[in-house]
Amino acid sequence: MSDWVKVARLDEIPRLGARVVRSAGKEIAVFRTAEDQVYAMHDQCPHKGGPLSQGIVAGRQVTCPLHGMRIGLEDGQAVAPDHGCVPPIPAKIEDGAVYLRI
């Protein structure tokens, strides 16, 4: 069973940045775009497990800090020509708070 869980206020996540949420021992990266959409996924790059939360966010992509693989925030897919995928975690904003379904 998964439920919507409140994790932070929107303003606790920097625009064009991310925060790390630790839940049941797993790290989740929660991103915020310039237009204030939020996206979440496991904080693990499909390439060699780099922490995606530490990457640079631009448009709806994050670039892994270790070797520069780009991951789409909406679907967790690596941007061509790279291959790989991180399963996305549903995220939403309500009344200025960020919720994840975990």
- Do residues 64 and 50 make contact, with C-beta atoms less than 8 angstroms apart? yes
56 scored as a contact of ligand FES (CB under 6 A): no
Q: Is the dihedral of CA 65, 71, 76, 77 positive or negative?
A: negative
Do you find a cis peptide bond into 90, omega within 30 degrees of 0? no
Instruction: Determine the 3-state secondary structure of 88 from DSSP.
Output: strand
83 scored as a contact of ligand FES (CB under 6 A): no
93 scored as a contact of ligand FES (CB under 6 A): no
9 scored as a contact of ligand FES (CB under 6 A): no
User: Which residues of this protein are in contact with ligand FES, per CB under 6 A?
Assistant: 45, 47-50, 64, 66-69
User: Which residues of this protein are in contact with other proteins, per CB under 8 A?
Assistant: 5, 7-8, 12-17, 19-24, 27, 34, 48-51, 54-59, 63, 65-68, 81, 102
